[in-house]
Structure 1
Amino acid sequence: MSNTSSTYLAFKISDHLFGVNVDRVMEISEYRAPKPIPESPSYVLGVVEFREHVVPQIDTAQKFNMPPIDITAMTCMVVLELQNLDLAKKFRVAILVDSVSDVFEATEDNTVPFTDDFHPQYLTASYKTNHGMVMILDADKVFSIKDVIALDKLVRS
């Protein structure tokens, strides 16, 4: 039995609940319209300013192959600081989510790992809450090396 626990931010995209480790979360804020960037991937809506930096704004639903997020009064931007280990590069993104629901603690004992043949590599486990099943993300694996290079190029241009 493992006593190691981690704290996660739970958020909703469409009818799905996801959780990301709070260590990756820099800020949660209300939606801000991005400045569009020509020739960017469909899931990149543009860029926004964050603490004197320019970060790409990601339609998380499109990134996860779901219909685009409808912007409502509940739509939030969650700014994440991620790391691509293959490139030894840290980068920031502002992901759009339909809403933020809560913060929860989970241990290996109360999560159920996904089997290797069933899920994208960025989904690690599921956790049952009062609001439903939360799919826990390994946020560092959401963006491939190709994605990170493209995002870096967009921000620099």
Structure 2
Amino acid sequence: MQSGESKLSRTSAVGFDYGRIERKLAAAHAAIESVWTPTPEESRKILASRAQALAMEKLADEAVETYIEVVEFNLAYERYAIESHYVREVYPLENLTPVPCTPSYLLGVVNLRGEITSVIDIRVFFDLPKTGLPDLNKVIVLESEHMSFGVLVDAVARVDKIRVADIQPALPATTRIHETYLKGLTADCVAILDGGRLLSDAGIVVNEQIHES
């Protein structure tokens, strides 16, 4: 019993030099920091590398979430859009020349910098109500490898990017346009037309020739 008490007494009597411990910790910390401290140039390179890595991550995310660019326009108080790679240009309607004995949706032709271009009223082609601006004066020229024509609209609203995952199938009650010509609808009810289908449809393609009645 005396031996145990003596041991406890000796242990309790031992004092801790906290100042010495703090000095040792500070020296160890300084030694760690002295192993490598980046120069200003090295710091810039590190930051640039991190920025590049973040940019690559963003591009990878955008690749997973595919987007399409569209030209949005108004027609008959409704909002429509078509992929921008089918749109060659937009121009004001001027000097329209009617062509006799052609389908009712063909308004006529215009001379666009030496090129004869048909102008289509898609309200008639899609059997939409003839409402909207009283004087339609904007033409969107659609173009593919083998065909081009102009589409008369009320107004061109903007160019926008739409996430493909957000495009939903069009329900019959949501638009009068047949689903054959639609890629779908956005959450805010913009009907996206299928430009490739329009430009390849024999029912809408019209050669600039006068048909016999």
Is 1:122–2:198 an aligned residue pair? Answer: no
Residue 71 (structure 1) shift: 4.6
Higher relative contact order (CA 8 A, sep 6+): 1
> Could you list the runs of 5+ residues in structure 1 that have no partner in the other structure?
84-89
Cα 1:6–1:20 shift into 2, 3 Å: same
Equivalent of 1:77, from 129, 136, 139? Answer: 139
* Cα distance in 2 for residues equivalent to 1:71 and 1:39: 25
User: Where do residues 43-122 of structure 1 align in structure 2 (5 Å cutoff)?
Assistant: 43-68=105-130, 70-72=133-135, 75-82=137-144, 90-114=146-170, 119-122=178-181
* Cα distance in 1 for residues equivalent to 2:208 and 2:180: 24
TM-score (norm 1): 0.78
The corresponding residue for 1:34 is 96
* C-alpha contact 1:4 1:107 (8 A) present in aligned 2: yes
The corresponding residue for 1:86 is none
Is 1:154–2:154 an aligned residue pair? Answer: no
User: Where do residues 11-26 of structure 1 align in structure 2 (5 Å cutoff)?
Assistant: 11-26=73-88
* Cα distance in 2 for residues equivalent to 1:146 and 1:17: 23
Could you list the per-position Cα deviations for residues 56-106 of structure 1 after superposition, in whole angstroms to 9, with x for gaps in the alignment? 11112111212346553x6311111035xxxxxx11111100111111111
* C-alpha contact 2:170 2:179 (8 A) present in aligned 1: no
* Cα distance in 2 for residues equivalent to 1:102 and 1:23: 14
Secondary structure, aligned partner of 1:145: coil
* C-alpha contact 2:72 2:157 (8 A) present in aligned 1: yes
Equivalent of 2:195, from 121, 139, 154? Answer: 139
* C-alpha contact 1:13 1:60 (8 A) present in aligned 2: no
> Could you list the runs of 5+ residues in structure 2 that have no partner in the other structure?
1-60
* Cα distance in 2 for residues equivalent to 1:115 and 1:71: 29
Q: Please report the RMSD computed on the Cα atoms of aligned residues, expressed in angstroms.
A: 2.5
Larger radius of gyration: 2
TM-score (norm 2): 0.59
Could you list the per-position Cα deviations for residues 101-123 of structure 1 after superposition, in whole angstroms to 9, with x for gaps in the alignment? 1111112222112369x943011
Q: Give the 4+ runs in structure 1 shifted more than 6 A.
A: none
Q: Bigger shift: 59-68 or 9-18?
A: 59-68
Query: Which structure is higher in strand share?
Result: 1
Look up the equivalent residue of 1:48 and give its one-letter code: V
Look up the equivalent residue of 1:139 and give its one-letter code: G
* Cα distance in 2 for residues equivalent to 1:121 and 1:15: 21
* C-alpha contact 2:170 2:184 (8 A) present in aligned 1: yes
* C-alpha contact 2:99 2:109 (8 A) present in aligned 1: yes
